[in-house]
Amino acid sequence: MPAVPIPRHRARRWATAAVAATAVTAAPAAAAPGQDGPSMSTSSDIAMNSWADSLLRHMPLEQKVGQLFVATVWGKSADEAHPENRAHYGVDTPAQVVQRYQVGGVIYFNNASTDNVDSPRQLAAFSNGLQRAALAKGPRLPLVVSIDQEGGNVTRIPAPATEYPGAMAVGASRNAADARTLAAVNGAELRAMGVTQNFAPVADVNSNPLNPVIGVRSFSADPQLAGELVSAEVRGYQGSGRPTETVSAAAKHFPGHGDAATDSHTGLPVITRTAEAWRRTDLPPFRAAIAAGVDSIMTAHIQVPALDPSGVPATLSRPILTGLLREELGYQGVVVTDALNMQGVREMFGDAEVPVLALSAGADQLLMPPDLNLAKNAVVSAVRSGRLTERRIDESVRRVLALKWKRGVISRPFVEERQVDRVVGSAANRATIQRLTDRTVTVLRNATDTLPLSAPGKVLVTGVGDPGNPNNSPNTVAAAIAARGSTTTSLPTGTRPAESAIAQAVATAHESDLVVVLTNNLSTYEPQRNLLAALLGTGKPVVAVAAQVPYDAGFLDAPTWVATYSWRGVSLESLVKVLFGEVPPLGRLPVDVPSSTDPTSVRFPFGHGLTW
């Protein structure tokens, strides 16, 4: 790595030449269990270490510390001025954020606040602009560009990119090959848009049906099934092409968020398992991810007294991150914190203390601090005061550099914007994902032989969905049923249907031959339970569809229950195919569904699923 400034127009040429000179020619080999990812050839390993040594010798402390942060940016292009950048960072554009703070990474969101995502081609141009900014100033290192693209309800890049079912839907398929294929398609599309790290798969075992934050983001309540599918997705993301065509996976949330009863975005969950129960239930998927060579592991903002009686969140716990993850499990890859702006990690310590404690505990990447300037200065001050050593900082920087090297970010930081539309959301990709999603729908009950449907006539589709959104779930299902010859009415009611909406649905049901009602989290939303109960009271055939958590089927005794685990269009298309008998229902429950009135009584057991 040259120690002299590199002109902006030479950034691309340098980034390619820097690795070409090291003669890295082969894809990484598979890792042995317990190793930190694919093992590199001896020449590649030596080359990377030599490059990192040279780089670290010439990097001031501030630049090293900057490489450990993954920042939120506002806007849809590197040069777009956005008032939130000024409010948070004192500069106007995402490019200026990257250059001022010399961060090692950025993360994309598509919410109303950050508003990063418009289209695949726009995102590719955004990524290229950020990489040019990173290579033009400071340490001149390409960025890790991160995202949460799990599939299902955690989807940051929607259509026209390919959309994916959630993890629990894949768990219902019991198909590791499908899990690997899904991750390979997702990873290839992300890389085409310039994203190099996906915070997926979720390795949490959803053992608590009332978990408010994980739920269908988990593959299963069974540790072995979850581990098998986590391993498959890690290999799909990281091992399904050349390094420059893959993305770093991140197994999350260590040491396991599946038994939480509190959302760590708003509070600090306490996991009361014994250490032995943790090893049986929560550990296996993370062990599987490590054996598969996962590039990064994300921490959880949870208290686990059996693993660390001090009560600090796992993100800040040295016994958990260093004692368990590093020393016992032998993991030497990147440990990334969950977002540091979440309440779960902020309850006990101030925003200046949290990043210092996270590094002391063993973390490497510091994700989304609420005040980046405060956080970065706090880490620099901790080194200068002797509280942290510069050697400790170097350890984490090396891991971040290795992640960039292994994924080809150093050799190929830019993407070909003109090729994006040929890769992202291609007909072949969408067809592949639709086929595997067709294997996920689970029929839980068909007591009156309502399914499969045959010329149902007038059909009412109602339930969860935003009435003001033309792409809401009832509209999607109604359109698919209408395409098969029925007359349909769509009445989306939202998550909290008003009494007037329930009355309208009941009146329309009386004029219909069949009712399809979509639910989403009946444990939380009593008005949805009232809607379903009222529709069942009409005497009309009702198909109840748990369009997210399958646990909804434990609340009301509908004669027909179907679980899709997701309300994304790809899952709803599979639902309609199953309803009409075009494909058989092959999904089997990856969790127990308990009775809402007696949580110790299982209404639909793990592995249950009807077919024809």
Instruction: Work out the number of other CB atoms within 10 angstroms of the CB of residue 83.
Output: 10
The string of pLDDT tens digits covering residues 490-511 is 999 999 999 999 999 999 999 9
Q: Which residue(s) pair with 336 in the sheet? A: 298, 365
Say if CB 206 and CB 168 are below 8 A apart.
yes
Name which of 527, 596, 590, 524 is nearest 556 in CA terms.
596
575 CA to centre of own chain: 23
Cα–Cα separations (whole angstroms), residue 309 to 244, 273, 274, 410: 43, 12, 11, 41
Q: State percent of the chain over pLDDT 90.
A: 86
Evaluate whether 593 touches 603 at the Cβ level (below 8 Å): yes
pLDDT tens-digit profile of 416-462?
Answer: 999 999 999 999 999 999 999 999 999 999 999 999 999 899 999 99
**Tokens 């007359």, residue?**
487
Can you name the residues that pair with 299 across neighbouring β-strands?
254
Under DSSP, the state recorded for 487 is E
CA 92 to each of CA 118, 405, 407, 457: distance values in angstroms, whole numbers, following the listed order: 20, 30, 30, 57
* Mean pLDDT across 67-92: 97
Q: Which amino acid is at 214?
A: I
Q: Nearest Cα to 196, choosing from 141, 260, 127?
A: 127
The two beta strands, 248-254 and 442-446, are unpaired
Query: Whole-angstrom Cα distance, residue 590 to residue 574?
Result: 18
Q: What is the pLDDT of residue 18?
A: 38
Q: Which amino acid is located at 20 in the chain?
A: A
In 156-308 the beta strands, taken as DSSP E runs, fall at 197-198, 248-254, 296-299
Helix (H, G, I), strand (E, B) or coil at 576: helix
Q: 413: cis peptide before it, omega within 30°?
A: no
Instruction: For residue 333, give the amino acid letter.
Output: G
Annotated catalytic residues are 338
β-bridge mates for residue 250, sequence order:
296
- Per residue in 52-61, pLDDT (tens digit) is 989 999 999 9
Residue 7 is predicted with a pLDDT of 34
Work out whether strand 442-446 and strand 514-519 pair parallel, antiparallel, or are unpaired: unpaired
Residues 6+ apart with CB under 8 A from 519: 463, 464, 528, 532, 544, 545, 546, 547, 548, 552
Strand 560-563 relative to strand 442-446: parallel, antiparallel, unpaired?
antiparallel
Would you state the pLDDT for residue 41? 57
**pLDDT tens, position by position, 205-239:** 999 999 999 999 999 999 999 999 999 999 999 98
Q: What angle do CA 310, 315, 317 make, to 5 degrees?
A: 35
Separation CA 596–CA 609 (nearest Å)? 20
Q: Which alpha helices (H) appear in 137-249, and where do they start and end? A: 167-173, 176-192, 223-239
Find tokens 């009560």 and name the residue: 311
Distances from the Cα of 370 to the Cα of 73, 264, 350, 545, angstroms: 12, 15, 11, 39
Q: Are 412 and 405 contacting, i.e. CB atoms less than 8 angstroms apart?
A: no
pLDDT tens sequence across 342-399: 999 998 999 999 999 999 999 999 999 999 999 999 999 999 999 999 999 999 999 9
Do residues 351 and 375 touch, judged by C-beta distance below 8 A?
yes
Distance CA 77, CA 122 (A): 8
Domains of the chain plus CATH, in order, are 36-423 (3.20.20.300), 440-604 (3.40.50.1700)
How large is the C-alpha radius of gyration of the chain? 25
Of 54, 20, 61, whose CA–CA distance to 377 is shortest? 61
Mean pLDDT of 268-291: 97
Q: Is 313 left (phi over 0), alpha (psi -120 to 50) or beta?
A: beta
Please name which of 415, 430, 440 lies closest in space to residue 563, comparing C-alpha atoms.
Answer: 440
